[in-house]
């Protein structure tokens, strides 16, 4: 059973198409990344899964139940991007309040609150007012409230927003621990380097359409480009390889490493045979990869923001504040 599944999911607002036939599947125990520009449809997708808005066409399920099912939602922890907690609460009292909403007993809340706040690194400030918290501490508190009822699925929208580098690392480690405990994490983040480090699979939305989906290795693989290295002191036969129809480039800043690019229908095998017949020893061969950021920028470059973006209120005529 998939934890999240959508099939040909559409959401329209009048003539505006926020989601256009999105199909994806998230398995139990995965950390799944959802990427896209502001307005790509990420928030709309999450709201449909949680039953906040209704889909127009297609199917969406959450923990085996139709999207929006109350029983399924009770098993979900959610951190929205722009959460705002009442400043008069302390970290402890806020967690106690959310725990009661989740149906956690008073005795269990008393036990869980310090443990959960310890997991996100702010147990020492649990009795301080939230108004004294930094942006990063508020973000950690938001993650803590999403974990309070020990949900099966955790949906995190920009969980490391405003968190310092050490804190981001700790949150990544926490997500890894949660995954090891059997939790599933659905993650939306603009920090592509972090997504690349932590996610099992990634989906990229562009203007409501799913344009790429797969594992990090699948998405970052550069088809047809290899990095080759020879034994120290050996000379790479540039002209001979070029005569076979391959493009070859010596990599600057390296000793004896070359980039070999294949044309459509070619394999690296003829190059390997040539090097072997020439008595050369290959010490390094790897298919070149891109960063996830490179992949993302290539896919969305030049695309206009979609309908899901935040809109500024229009100023009055005359430019008044």
95 and 65, same structural domain? Answer: yes
Q: Do 208 and 258 fall within a single domain?
A: no
- Sequential DSSP letters for 15-59: TEEEEEEEEEEE-TT-EEEEEE-TTSSHHHHHHHHTTSS--SEEE
Three-state SS for 60? strand
Both 212 and 238 in one domain: the answer is no
Cβ atoms < 10 Å from Cβ of 283 = 13
Cα 293 to Cα 39, 160, 227, 235: the distances in Å are 18, 17, 20, 34
Taking residues 42-67, report their average pLDDT.
95
Give the highest mean pLDDT range of 20-29, 35-44, 192-201. Answer: 20-29
For residues 178 and 243, membership in a common domain is answered with no
- 189: pLDDT strictly greater than 80: yes
15 and 96 together in one domain: yes
**Is residue 61 a part of any domain in this protein?**
yes
Helix axes 135-147, 165-180, angle to 10 degrees: 10
Confidence category of residue 321, pLDDT binned at 50, 70, 90 = very low
Least confident of 122-131, 230-239, 277-286, 307-316: 307-316
Token duo for residue 83: 């959460």
Residue 320 pLDDT class (50, 70, 90 cuts): very low
Task: Give percent of the chain above pLDDT 90.
Answer: 57
d(C-alpha 279, C-alpha 295), whole Å: 38
Tell me: the pLDDT tens digits for 124-160?
999 999 999 988 899 999 999 999 999 999 999 888 8
- Average the pLDDT over 35-63 and give the result: 93
Q: 319 falls in which pLDDT band (50, 70, 90)?
A: very low
**Which residue's entry shows tokens 């061969």?**
285
pLDDT digits (tens, 9 = 90+) for 218-236: 888 766 788 899 998 899 9
Q: What is the pLDDT of residue 307?
A: 52
Tell me the two tokens of residue 28.
Answer: 């139990």
Cβ-based burial of 6 (10 A; exposed 0-12, middle 13-18, buried ≥19): buried
User: What is the biggest distance separating any 2 CA atoms in the chain, rounded to whole angstroms?
Assistant: 78
Q: What is the pTM for the complete model shown?
A: 0.76
Q: Kindly state whether residues 17 and 125 are assigned to the same domain.
A: yes
Instruction: Write the pLDDT tens digit of every residue in 287-310.
Output: 777 788 888 887 776 555 555 555
Same domain, 209 and 238: no
Asked if residue 268 belongs to a domain, the reply is yes
Q: Tell me, what CATH number does 176's domain have?
A: 3.40.50.300
Confirm if 35 and 202 have CB atoms less than 8 A apart.
yes
- One domain, residues 256 and 197: no
Alpha-carbon gap, residue 130 to 30, rounded angstroms: 32
Which pair of tokens denotes residue 157?
């929208």
The CA–CA distances, whole Å, from 35 to 12, 79, 205 equal: 20, 16, 6
Indicate whether 135 and 246 sit together in one domain. Answer: no
Is 293 within a domain?
A: no
150 part of a folded domain: yes
Structural domain span for residue 151:
4-218
Residues 258 and 152 in one domain: no
Tell me: do 256 and 113 sit in the same domain. Answer: no
The strand ranges marked E within 102-251 are 153-157, 184-188, 201-206, 209-215, 221-230, 247-250
Per the DSSP assignment, residues forming a β-bridge with 25 are 5
Q: For residue 171, what pLDDT is reported?
A: 85
Number of domain units in the chain? 2
Q: What is the mean pLDDT of the chain?
A: 88
């Amino acid at each position: 059973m998939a934890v999240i599944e959508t099939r040909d999911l559409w959401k329209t607002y009048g003539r505006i198409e926020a989601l256009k036939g999105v199909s994806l599947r998230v398995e139990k125990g995965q950390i799944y990344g959802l990427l896209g520009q502001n307005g790509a449809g990420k928030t709309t997708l999450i709201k449909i899964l949680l039953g906040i808005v209704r889909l127009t066409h297609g199917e969406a399920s959450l923990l085996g139940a139709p999207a929006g099912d109350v029983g399924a939602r009770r098993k979900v922890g959610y951190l929205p991007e722009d959460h705002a907690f009442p400043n008069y609460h302390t970290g402890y009292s806020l967690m106690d309040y959310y725990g009661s909403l989740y149906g956690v007993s008073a005795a269990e809340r008393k036990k869980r609150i310090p443990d959960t706040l310890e997991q996100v690194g702010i147990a020492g400030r649990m009795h301080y007012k939230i108004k004294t918290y930094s942006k990063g501490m508020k973000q950690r508190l938001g993650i803590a409230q999403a974990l309070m009822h020990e949900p099966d699925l955790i949906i995190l929208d920009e969980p490391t927003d405003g968190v310092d580098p050490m804190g981001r690392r700790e949150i990544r480690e926490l997500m890894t621990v949660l995954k090891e405990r059997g939790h599933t994490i659905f993650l939306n983040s603009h920090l592509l380097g972090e997504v690349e480090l932590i996610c099992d699979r990634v989906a990229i939305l562009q203007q409501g359409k799913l344009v790429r989906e797969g594992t990090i290795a699948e998405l970052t693989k550069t088809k047809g480009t290899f990095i080759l290295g020879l034994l120290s002191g050996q000379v790479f036969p540039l002209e001979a390889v070029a005569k076979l129809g391959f493009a070859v480039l010596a990599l600057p800043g390296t000793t004896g490493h070359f980039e070999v690019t294949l044309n459509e229908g070619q394999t690296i095998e003829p190059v390997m045979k040539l090097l072997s017949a020439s008595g050369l020893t290959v010490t390094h061969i790897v298919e070149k990869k891109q960063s996830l950021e490179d992949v993302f920028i290539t896919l969305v470059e030049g695309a206009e923001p979609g309908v899901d973006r935040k809109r500024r209120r229009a100023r009055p005529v005359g430019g008044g504040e």
